[in-house]
Structure 1
């Protein structure tokens, strides 16, 4: 453990670290972790219900991933994949291509983060179609590079003071459950949102000049929200009808998070043309990939999508080990089983507490709405109280959209650890109901 406290280290860091580079939640400095437990520099343990923003689905310091990294680092750490293949990346590429939810020949290209994988979707979509426009959705988070930030719209701070952003990007309204009218059926809601989706194409956006539609099948930072299946089918059919590529972002929701390899597999019959992968691909090591149909991926020549370190030997060794762990330890099945357990817990809590709104759980992947019982609207104050109290009790959980608890533990979390976390959450819920919780002093600084 460090001889310095969390606060002492953070005070030193603050003098040299940019505000724009971190979303503030808790004043801790993480020192190490194992499985679903992380430990700060003062030796405090926390059950991790965030999994490093869904980038450590295999847990922290998984022995097989650690060994793969150590063994590879002892051989060679880096030689740029921009010029030469390496044995780990050469092994990984066909493995990842074989897992892709696409028919026919598939190819991959490496990146360093989900952000540049989404930038690559723009490149390949425009090159293959010869068209310029890209369509994404409100509430989306696709990354922080200039292209991916243009595609995103989860917070105004991703566009404020930076414009003009990348031209040719049009945002369609995402069918969020909070936008559904009180008396509206699911079918009516989908029809209304699809009409809103088509409006640009009917007024100012030529379909024949549109390269791709990019969507998160389940929005992550937008609130852990699954796209209504009927809406997904409609926009997919629209894309196919008009020769528009259908692209998906699997950075947050892929790699077993929902109980399937890819979140798009929760939508039978829909195959993407392109998809972005990152975060848990290499158990949190800096590696991403764009995966796509071969003819699309061959539409650009060399040097169009290369990075000095993308696909380096250590990160791809970690990714090969990650694929092994997910398969050998049956983490897809584990996510499904524990996700049902989590859904049962939160629905039981919802029956007890009127401030719990919608509970959305797709495998170990959940969004729990905290609402004002009088209005049914999201309650930012209550959410801040809850997440901070859960932190004090010994678990890491954060908020989305100000009033949604984000529940994404590592897929290796044990039943006992999950039960302990449920105990902490239930205690926080009961204390909120009893009026015993106060806001932390820096509440206005916390969250997105």
Structure 2
């Protein structure tokens, strides 16, 4: 089917608010490693990975075979029955966890559900409905997670099931304190003290949880400095508040330097949420953390129809083993460091680049015009990249941050190929060219 015809049918049958990239949307029909093909036969470097999800790459034989073998036996049973792959996956995750002590894992179908579950556990455990989230955060598309998302463009309703206060991360996009401190660590500590102020002035003092992404994903790949997170953790411990690390985008070696994004800060969270890269595209998410918190759910009997189903857990286990056996974290560090250096070089050559940020293979290029966010430039840049065979994403409060997150199997040669395209695309944008 031609893309134009499929687009018309999409608009007729699906919600008008369902976003599509590009002026002429494309259908991806095949993938192999870090390359994909659309329905018209055009080949692309996949440098967004299905929204930071395809972590091991497309059509990985080991993962495909695990899914196929399980699908041939049984597709579904529910948590009312024992599922071996579910138990094995939970055990594997706990063995890799940065959290100490007895732990448990609860499986769900997505990152939104994982964050919903984590908040449920935290509020039950603490006997409180109060939560602290961050400005610029994004925690999901469900009603509850939209209520703790710190971006108005992702909150269609002001209603929320929780009592939420928003702290300021130490970044110029979200903190009015930016620019008042010469030392970035001083800014980080000052913003951390804002969390103390929130607890003492804007809550009852008995907050259930603080939830944060170590690197804000939809917020534009903005990293929370270790000095900020470590000080926040100290303040939370003073008040008995749980720390939830939203690792939906940062887990499994994506950041290169560590397996979990939170590890760089040296902070030990109470709960970790995950999805996306866990299944490499399969619908699966999970909450992992202190057993006493997860076991606090009341009433004591509960089920999940689809959480941890046999196919998803079999595929996720194969994916996790593939990441570890092939040391994809190391590749993310090496190729990501090289690509970031190339991006920093482009920033020195192109006035439209306001900032390059991120770690590993979770990188962002913020586009500006005379120092102000330029979302039109970001849209034009994406079109120019697509025309030249590279797919990237975007984010940020103003929609002007280009998000780059290829599979962790990507090679240095592919990164160089993409960097050349980025250079051409920036020149095209700055020249005012328009791709049609």
Give the superposition deviation at 1:426. 1.3
For the residues of structure 1 that align with 2:335 and 2:300, how far apart are their CA atoms?
44
- 2:45 aligned with 1:47: yes
Residue 166 of structure 1 pairs with residue 161 of structure 2? yes
Q: Which runs of 4+ in 1 moved over 4 A?
A: 301-305
- After TM superposition, the structure 1 = structure 2 runs for residues 13-92 of structure 1, keeping only pairs within 5 Å, are 13-25=10-22, 27-81=25-79, 83-92=80-89
Structure 1 stretches of 5 or more lacking a match?
441-448
Match of 1:446 in 2: none
1:264 maps to which residue? 262
Aligned pair in 2 of structure 1 residues 219, 31: CA closer, same or farther (>3 Å)? same
Equivalent residue runs for 1:187-202 within 5 Å: 187-202=185-200
Matches for 1:23-422 after TM superposition, within 5 Å: 23-25=20-22, 27-81=25-79, 83-154=80-151, 156-160=152-156, 162-178=157-173, 179=175, 181-182=178-179, 184-185=181-182, 186-207=184-205, 209-259=206-256, 260-268=258-266, 270-301=267-298, 306-372=303-369, 374=370, 376-401=371-396, 402-422=399-419
**Could you list the runs of 5+ residues in structure 2 that have no partner in the other structure?**
none
Task: Say if 1:183 and 1:439 are closer, same or farther in 2 by CA, change over 3 A.
Answer: farther
Normalised by the length of structure 2, the TM-score is 0.94
Task: From the superposition, tell whether residues 244 and 353 of structure 1 become closer, same or farther in structure 2 (CA, over 3 Å).
Answer: same
The corresponding residue for 1:443 is none
Give the 3 Å change call, closer, same or farther, for CA 310–170 of structure 1 in structure 2. Answer: same
Tell me, in whole angstroms, the C-alpha distance in 2 between the residues paired with 1:303 and 1:64.
38
The 3 A distance-change label for structure 1 pair 303 and 336 is same
Kindly report the root-mean-square deviation, in angstroms, between the aligned alpha carbons of the 2 structures: 1.8
Residue pairs, 1:424-443, within 5 angstroms: 424-433=421-430, 435-438=431-434
- C-alpha separation in 2, matches of 1:305 and 1:133: 24
Query: Alpha-carbon deviation of 1:221?
Result: 0.8
**TM-aligned CA deviation for residue 213 of structure 1:** 0.6
Deviation at 1:237, TM superposition (A): 0.4
- Distance in 2, Cα, partners of 1:338 & 1:167: 41
SS at match of 2:348: helix
Kindly state the Cα deviation for residue 12 of structure 1 after the two structures are TM-superposed.
1.3
1:66-89 residue CA offsets vs partner (Å, 9 max, x unmatched): 0100011001111112x0111211
TM-superposed deviation, 1:201: 2.3
Residues 187 and 413 from structure 1, CA distance in 2 versus in 1: closer, same or farther, beyond 3 angstroms?
closer
Task: Encode CA deviations 1:395-441: one digit per residue, 9 max, x unaligned.
Answer: 111221221110101111122222221121111123334x152276x
For structure 1, which segment, 382-391 or 68-77, has the greater mean C-alpha deviation from structure 2 after superposition? 382-391
**Match of 1:110, SS?**
strand
CA contact (8 A) 1:384 1:439 kept: no
Q: Offset of 1:304 from its aligned partner?
A: 6.3
In structure 2, do the counterparts of structure 1 residues 394 and 132 end up closer, same or farther at CA, with 3 Å as the change threshold? same
Contact 1:65 1:322 in 2 (8 A): yes
Does the Cα contact within 8 Å between 2:86 and 2:309 map onto a contact in 1?
yes
C-alpha distance 284-187 of structure 1, shift in aligned 2 (>3 A): same
SS, match of residue 13 in structure 2: coil
| TM-score after normalising by structure 1 | 0.92
Across the two proteins, how many residue pairs are aligned to each other? 429
Q: Distance in 2 between matches of 1:20 and 1:381?
A: 19
